[in-house]
Copies of this chain bind each other. A is one copy, B any other.
């Protein structure tokens, strides 16, 4: 993301200060469904204006902007989709991720980032005491609906990394299950696996819909409430903890991991999917920049390093933890053994 040229220049600064233009241009293109329209064959500004009820001048300027920023191609006056845009921004495909803008650009996030100086002074979110971690915060229903298509890829990756015995009756706990896709990906693979999904009651309705779609409703059980308060029961072979620990401080995570430890069978595993930067906290970019999102939206969350997680999980009683960088996706995985 650096852009240092040989001679000092303020260009990188100006492009970066104006980076919010890019956010809003993309949001506008998604709202107008420009990428799908191009996929359908409306490849000139004129055709796009007709197809999506816009002005030709507006479409030309927006599409040129999307060419410069790497989302479209342009040959003469014809726009085309880049390979990434064709796969992820054409609404007709199941790989479409455009809905995520609804969550990522929700008013809560806009407010959280509106005064980063205040956030840095305080050392945590200035939204309110709990930030996005307040009980039943509706932002997580939006998240569940918006992030499904992305989560699906990561969920599939997890089923490749973690194997269960298909012939044995097994049980998995899906923490902050949201859309439920992590647990459901496993349920699809293992017909003897039962899933217990924990999240706020309003959010679990999205998971319930998906369990029905996946045809596994009879093996998917909702356990509504806070993961810190509800009784999980025991006898679990797997605890899935996707994108949850980053919201809290280490003592809170240790306490929670101790609760998972108690709920697991003797050969059980806890699986953490997270943004985990390297020790220097500056690589990989997605994991490293994610810390700022946690600073701005939570009271004490962070993007923890593997060494930090390893310590938390050892303190919680796990015998060892293994770091995995999957080939696909932007997240990292830790498998912890009881």
> Which residues of A are at the interface with B, using a C-beta cutoff of 8 A?
1-4, 8-29, 31-32, 53-62, 64-65, 67-71, 74, 82-89, 97, 100-101, 104-105, 110, 113-117, 119-124, 150, 277, 280-283, 285-286, 288-289, 291-296, 302, 330
Contacts and interface: CB of A to CB of B under 8 A. Distances in A.
Contacts of A54: 120-121, 123
A190 B285 CA distance: 51
A89 B9 CA distance: 11
A31 B87 contact: no
A192 to B, nearest CB: 33
Given A13-B97, A62-B116, 18 more contacts: A2-B70, A8-B86, A8-B88, A12-B71, A13-B71, A16-B26, A17-B27, A20-B105, A20-B110, A21-B293, A24-B115, A25-B292, A28-B119, A56-B123, A58-B124, A65-B288, A65-B291, A68-B288
A29 B16 CA distance: 12
B61 A1 contact: no
Contact of A84 (B13, B26, B86, B330): B13
A83 B8 contact: yes
Contacts of A117: 27-28, 31-32
A32 B68 contact: no
A68 B285 contact: yes
Contact of A82 (B4, B20, B27, B67): B4
Contacts of A97: 10, 13-14
A281 B64 contact: yes
B116 A4 contact: no
B27 A116 contact: yes
Contacts of A150: 10
Nearest to A55: B123
B113 A64 contact: no
Contacts of A25: 116, 292
Contacts of A289: 18, 21, 65, 68-69
B86 A20 contact: no
